[in-house]
Amino acid sequence: MLNNNLPPVWKESDRLAALHSYRVLDTPPEPAFDNLVQLAARTCQTPIALISLIDEHRQWFKAETGLGLRETSLDRSICLGAMLLPGLTIVPDLQEDPRFACNPLVGGEPHLRFYAGAVLRTPDGVPLGALCVLDYVPRDLTDEQASTLTMLSRQAMSVFELRRALAERDERLEAARQIERRQTLLVRELHHRVKNTLATVQALVGATGRSSGSFDEFYRSFSDRISSLAKTHNLLTEDYWQTAPLRQIALNELKPFAESRQPRFMLIGPSVELSADLAVPVGMALHELTTNAIRYGALSTPAGYVRLQWHLGETDDGRQLRLEWREFGGPPVGQPQHRGFGSTLLQRVLPMQCNAKVEVEYHAEGLRFRMQVPLVKQRLVPAY
């Protein structure tokens, strides 16, 4: 006896999406479902009972008793045909039904003969599979057995719904915990950054004051350095004070020359994210190099240009950034007569603060600055 009412219209993609939303496929056995199939087998007096879910390429059993399998291919699935029909499907003799007689589980081992399945349907009416009972001999169900099997299928769906609700609740709680942990790390990092920034500003005041000949020169140099520091900080705050892209740090300094008809700078290198502790001193170093090039070097003449090139390398201690600033086409360059703030930053502060290896060469054809610096391996605050 088959229920021949027309099934509701639904798309297979929607059905599969609904099935996967329950997050149940390939999960371990659970007593709530095991108890349902055992009760179904006992009530219907059959050796086999299954909670069968129809996936894209297989039928998978969330719970089973008597069959000894956890899944089969779709060509062996009787539930695939039964779930397309609403309500309860009863097949007294599978060998006599042309739709199931060719099923390998009917024609071969274990030679199934009887099937009764109640559709597992979502609250929106989408079928997921069936709660079914099977036997090795032709037979039928009593009205009471049929009614009980239908009620058990509804109970199975209730457990699925509860299980999904609990999983969604746990996911929301975990997301909230992750946000809380992230905020804690972010506040800790922010405190660290504020202290470092204040120390940097204090150092800039002293160093700029010592290298300036007048108040106007001090004000101009100090303002430019604070502006450069602020630009790097803006990049860092976009990533929760974690990293800033090297290319953008360089562009912040060289931007006034970006619209020149004749190229004034070249940036050559892969995408590199600098940690906050490295981005700030590198940004300051590029600011000093740019300022020096504008005043005395390649960017002080119309034909001069700068090439900033970098690449990543691997060492026994981890990843390293190798960076080179080179100037071309400017006035002849000579060894400076005194050490200013820029030279001190490049040759002393970078090695001390970043563990960098630095070379500054004053070639007649143009300044050449090279730096090797280790990169941090991980972020403090995870990305969203």
**Range 83-97 average pLDDT:** 88
Residue 199 domain flag:
no
Question: Are 55 and 126 found together in one domain?
Answer: yes
Q: Are residues 94 and 243 part of one domain?
A: no
pLDDT digits (tens, 9 = 90+) for 373-383: 888 765 555 55
Which range of residues forms the domain containing residue 294? 212-374
SS (H, E, C) the chain: CCCCCCCCCCCHHHHHHHHHHCCCCCCCCCHHHHHHHHHHHHHHCCCEEEEEEECCCEEEEEEEECCCCCEEEHHHCCHHHHCCCCCEEEECCHHHCCCCCCCHHHHCCCCCCEEEEEEEECCCCCEEEEEEEEECCCCCCCHHHHHHHHHHHHHHHHHHHHHHHHHHHHHHHHHHHHHHHHHHHHHHHHHHHHHHHHHHHHHHHHHHHHHCCCHHHHHHHHHHHHHHHHHHHHHHHCCCCCEEEHHHHHHHHHHHHCCCCCCCEEEECCCCEEEHHHHHHHHHHHHHHHHHHHHCCHHHCCCCEEEEEEEEEEECCEEEEEEEEEEECCCCCCCCCCCCHHHHHHHHHHHHHHCCEEEEEEECCEEEEEEEEECCCCCCCCCC
- Residue 80, in any domain of the structure: yes
Query: Are the CB atoms for 74 and 80 separated by under 8 Å?
Result: yes
Whether residue 53 is found in the same domain as residue 160: yes
Distance separating alpha carbons of residues 82 and 80, to the nearest angstrom: 6
Looking at the predicted structure, is the pLDDT value of residue 124 above 50? Answer: yes
**Model pLDDT, residue 70:** 92
Q: Are 306 and 265 in contact (CB under 8 A)?
A: yes
Residue 381 lies in a domain: no
What does the block give as tokens for 14?
Answer: 């929607």
HEC profile of 161-197? HHHHHHHHHHHHHHHHHHHHHHHHHHHHHHHHHHHHH
275 — pLDDT class (breaks 50, 70, 90): confident
Q: Among residues 140, 171, 202, which one ends one of the domains? A: 171
In this prediction, residue 233 has a pLDDT band, given cuts at 50, 70 and 90, of low
Distance of CA 56 to the CA centre of its chain: 26
pLDDT for residue 190: 60
Instruction: Give the pairing of strands 71-73 and 58-65.
Output: antiparallel
- Tell me, yes or no, whether 18 lies in a domain: yes
54-83 core/surface letters (b: 16 or more CB in 10 A; e: else): bbeeebbbbbbbbbeeebbeeebbbbbbbb
Are residues 83 and 132 both part of a single domain? yes
Is there a single domain that holds both residue 32 and residue 135? yes
Of these ranges, 59-68, 102-111, 274-283, 307-316, the one predicted with the greatest mean pLDDT is 59-68
Is residue 99 situated within a structural domain? yes
Tokens 């600055």, residue located: 369
- Please state the rounded mean pLDDT for residues 359-379: 83
- Whichever domain contains 313, its CATH number is 3.30.565.10
Pair of tokens at residue 214: 């007048």
3 in any annotated domain: no
- Domain tally for the chain? 2
**Angstrom distance (rounded) from CA 118 to CA 107:** 23
Please give the Cα distance from 51 to 134 (Å, whole number). 12
pLDDT top residue among 208 and 64: 64
Q: How far is CA 121 from CA 17, 128, 162, 377, 379, in A?
A: 13, 6, 14, 49, 46
Residues 218 and 165 in one domain: no
Domain edge (last residue) among 143, 171, 199: 171
Whole-number Å distance between alpha carbons of 258 and 254: 7
Q: Check whether residue 34 and residue 117 sit in a common domain.
A: yes
Residue recorded with tokens 């490049």:
346
**Whose CA is closest to 148, among 168, 172, 131, 125?**
131
Q: What is the mean pLDDT of the chain?
A: 82
In a domain, 245, yes or no: yes
Query: Same structural domain for residues 98 and 159?
Result: yes
Q: What percent of the chain has pLDDT over 70?
A: 80
Same domain? 153 vs 247? no
- CATH of residue 16's domain is 3.30.450.40
Kindly state whether residues 152 and 241 are assigned to the same domain.
Answer: no
The residue among 144, 171, 198 that closes a domain is 171
Query: Would you say residue 52 has pLDDT above 90?
Result: yes
Residue 181 belongs to some domain of the structure = no
Residues 258 and 348 occupy one common structural domain:
yes
| 8 Å CB contact between 320 and 375 | yes
Is the domain of 159 the same as that of 230? no
